[in-house]
Amino acid sequence: MKKIVSLLLAGMFVTGGVAARDVTSFNAGWEFKKGPFPEEAVRTVASWNGKWNKVEIPHTWNARDMQTRYNDFYEGAGYYRKEYFCPENLKDKRIFLRFEGVGACAEVYINNQLVGTHKGGYSAFAIEIGTALKPGKNNEIVVKADNKSRPDVIPVNHALFGVYGGIYRPVWLIVTEKSNITVTDNASPGVYITQENVSRRSVDITVKVKVDNASLQPVPVILENTIYTQERKRIATDKQSFDLSTQGTQAYSSTFHLNRPHLWQGRQDPYLYKVVSRLIQNGNVIDEVVQPLGIRKYEMVAGKGFFLNGEKYPMYGVCRHQDWWELGSALKNEHHDFDLAQIMDVGATTVRFAHYQQSEYLYSRCDSLGLVIWAEIPFVNRVTGQEAENAKNQLRELIRQNFNHPSIYVWGLHNEVYSPHEYTAQLTAELHDLAKAEDPNRYTVSVNGYGHMEHPVNLNADIQGMNRYFGWYEKKIKDIDTWIEGLEKEYPHQKLILSEYGADANINHQTELLGESLKWWEQYYPETFQTKVHEYHWSVIAKHPYIVASYLWNSFDFATPMADRGGITARNMKGLMTFDRKTKKDSYYWYKANWSKDPVVYLTQRRNKDRECKETSVTVYSNIGTPTVYLNGKELQGIRKGYTEVHYVFDHVILADGKNTLKAVAMQNGKEYVDEIVWNYTGEKNRGTETYENQKVHSGF
């Protein structure tokens, strides 16, 4: 098995040649069998006859059916088994299994003995298994995963997104000495770093470490907390000596005052210190945990915007669902890296990871990339009256597991959860109180889909988020103006985030005949309408600082197994990129031109090749100055600015019969940037939803 050194789990600065703790990948050698099976059979699952499939974690059984079928996918139990030989020399150690994510409820058995359970498909959980293992022998591990929706576990349905079943994130085998930095504090790293009085002059840092002793006698130990620079230079150390009690987990804190700290400055300079917590016994490091430290101060000011370290910071925001076409949620780090690369490329500065806790690797990468993050729990869509305890537990897990990520600025409490309003409002208030008790220094946010401040579930968090889809789910595209101006006037003191906006776009649906709204419940989702929505909505957002942050929906198309519309079954197509990550829609380049510092020259409607009108318009995005555009080799005249400084439009362009070549050219620093597309015109057309049946695509691209 491959040894892995993890920021969250293992030591990086081991002293004296002694390994602090062993953290080993536990992803190979699994077998899988899909249920359902009688509950009484779980303990004898390993002896079942029949075919077991060899799988490697991460794994999900819904990678196809949840992405291609409408309300026809397997939700229920699946079983995983693995044989593990426990070395004899581990009999005096503590042994844990840490699961980063199992969809959605899990039971773990060792040698037919239940050792732990977990409810919730998106947070990690850790189970101590050493007492159930037989040293020097093979041991059988069985995991039951069940993604059937249930009223006491959020999300309570699959309506907004599908909860993929399986062990879909990595599993780790952790071995420590009897005394350790706790592994089972809600699967947190056991180390909590807080920062106060942050300025360029100085900062006060507190490092709280939870430690545990599983022996029968108190143990004399030294707890050492050290801060290292990004260049690995030690700048501060605190040591405490004490006898570690055998009765319960103990918490000890170190405080530091740092002068002239190097601040974490978002994408501009995401500087990271490291905090190394070591437990030392008889001169040897017996445990060690490394955590990131990004020194920063977040502040949201109503009506003015978001401030990072006292300076206004642009919140160019996107949302991201974690699933991929034909992979589901069973992703590897390279998939997360790819998604983050697209998000960085488009110029985003902030990401809403919706609507659930996502990979801890992803949050760590955001720390080092400088993205400002919104993290949330899957309390979405509906309430049952039975989910309160689980919602609180998932929020506690989210906060404790991700407490030290400097990229996270806000904890999300709910998204579009309503009736019964009184219950939802009270539970949201309780979640807010829990978040503040766990982490007083970060904001909380809840999200409404109606858009009026006086809604009864509103104003129970620090920030009010609102999801608005003008022209798509409601009213007309330009009604966003009236909405935001009304809120500015009536509620100038409220912190407001436009937490979702956008429209679906099936790239196989194209037309230049567009109005100010579209019937979303029908089957015609032209990409050109999505582009129109984003062009206007971003222009309004950009000139209204009352919207302290905004998040377009969504970075990537994703699976919605309870929906069948827009020409592709089980698909939400509001992404800037297609589900398979192969095609960047026009709206992707709209934001890249407006947000990114990279040069952009881009002609829109490249997939709308079969033109309906001989007289049409040509749109170019250019963030390097006014472009020159040629039609069939002849320069077009009459260019005008559109909604923002990068938006250029030519009206009343007359196409030739047959093939038409458009070429846009702009110069920057002596370098020429060119984009070219081809349109065809073969006569006037009256294209609309009646052509849907000729363009329908059920899956794939």
Of 371, 28, 7, residue with least CA distance to 173: 28
* Contact by Cβ (8 Å): 516, 533: no
Is residue 288 among the annotated active site residues? no
CA atoms of 173 and 156, how far apart (whole Å): 31
CA atoms of 463 and 488, how far apart (whole Å): 15
Beta bridge partners of residue 410, listed in sequence order? 374, 443
Read off the tokens for 460: 């129970």
Q: How far apart are the first and last CA of the chain?
A: 38
DSSP state letter for 213: E
**CB < 8 Å & 24+ apart, contacts of 134-139:** 134/86, 135/86, 135/87, 135/88, 135/89, 135/90, 135/91, 136/86, 136/87, 136/88, 136/91, 137/85, 137/86, 138/83, 138/84, 138/85, 139/83, 139/84, 139/85, 139/86, 139/110, 139/111
- Count of C-beta atoms within a 10 Å radius of residue 517: 18
* Contact by Cβ (8 Å): 323, 43: no
Helix (H) or strand (E) holding 424: helix 421-438
Beta bridge partners of residue 220, listed in sequence order? 243
For residue 283, give every residue at least 6 positions away whose Cβ sits within 8 Å of its Cβ, in sequence order, or none: 16
Read off the tokens for 282: 């008889």
CA atoms of 645 and 570, how far apart (whole Å): 37
Choosing from 416, 500, 527, 535, the catalytic residue is: 416
Residues designated catalytic: 416
